[in-house]
Structure 1
Amino acid sequence: MSSILGRLKRPILYVMAPAYVVAGILHFVVPDLYAQIIPPLLPFPLALVYLSGLAEIAVGVGLLVPRTRQYAAWGTVALLLAIYPANIYMATSGVVIEGLSGGGDPSALVRWGRLPLQGVLIALAFWYTKPTNNV
């Protein structure tokens, strides 16, 4: 089993890293969509959207550079933990996201599915925090 996972480590990296860059760019393209799921108790939602977008771009690029991969992986873990409250808020508040294509009311599956997905993403990022020569 570990040999199968070992063979998947590089391809997963080359999907994961660009996905973070694209997600980060989207924070600048449609920031209002992201701002709507920031819990109201957090100040300056738009600034937080831009900051998290910048962080996603940085970790995505950092994951692709062998010299910075471990640091970027730790940064990814930290980022995913930092944005988890937005996912909890989205799941529990019933917020209707204005401007969302296909309608602004994500299904319960989408709302609640993001929570365990975040755990999977954290586990994947953690996988790259360990030094390795084969990735």
Structure 2
Amino acid sequence: MIRTGLRWLLAIFYLAAGIAHLRSPEFFLAIMPPWVPMHAEVVLWTGVAEIAGAIGLAQPLWPSLRRAAAIGLAGYAVCVFPANVHHFALDMAREDGGLGLAYHVPRMFAQPVIIWLALWVGEATDWPFPRPTN
């Protein structure tokens, strides 16, 4: 029951993030590391990936699709981590401190948790809560 509730919560989170990428790409373009090519296209396709992952994670009919979506979202979270670090560095370099440490430090620590959570709620892993065996 907890796993299902968290799966829906994570799916809603990724759906909202994907919609934000498509509706308001300016924020995401501003934090994109300069070494990433084709910024606008990357923001567009990351939004599409988040929406597709959210739909795959939330659907109840095909566990293998849910598992694939979970692995994809976990991989996605790994891939966007450099943008989060870049955003942290940009903000801290601002004279006003940007969003500040109270925003960025928890975000940095949350990233590995989000990666694990995607894998756990999508049943790609049972760690550290193994299912009982009969």
TM bucket (normalised to shorter chain) is 0.7 to 0.9
3-state SS, counterpart of residue 40 of structure 1: coil
1:94 CA drift (Å): 2.8
Determine whether 1:73 maps to 2:66. no
More displaced 10-residue stretch of structure 1: 70-79 or 38-47: 38-47
Q: Contact conserved, 2:53 with 2:69, CA < 8 A, in 1?
A: yes
Instruction: Find the partner of 2:40 among 36, 39, 46.
Output: 46
Instruction: Find the partner of 1:82 among 69, 75, 79.
Output: 79
3-state SS, counterpart of residue 104 of structure 2: helix
Distance 1:41 1:71, change over 3 A: same
Displacement over 4 Å in runs of 4+: none
Query: When the two structures are superposed, what TM-score results if normalisation uses the length of structure 2?
Result: 0.81
Q: State the Cα RMSD in Å.
A: 2.2
Counterpart for residue 115 of structure 1: 108
Q: Identity rate of aligned residues, in percent?
A: 29
Q: Contact conserved, 1:17 with 1:64, CA < 8 A, in 2?
A: yes
How many residue pairs match? The answer is 120
3-state SS, counterpart of residue 80 of structure 1: helix
3-state SS, counterpart of residue 19 of structure 1: helix
Gaps of 5+ in 2: 127-134
Gaps of 5+ in 1: 1-6, 98-102
Q: Which amino acid in structure 2 is aligned with residue 18 of structure 1?
A: I
* 1:45-90 Cα shifts (integer Å, max 9, x gaps): 1111111100000000000123110000000111101111100111
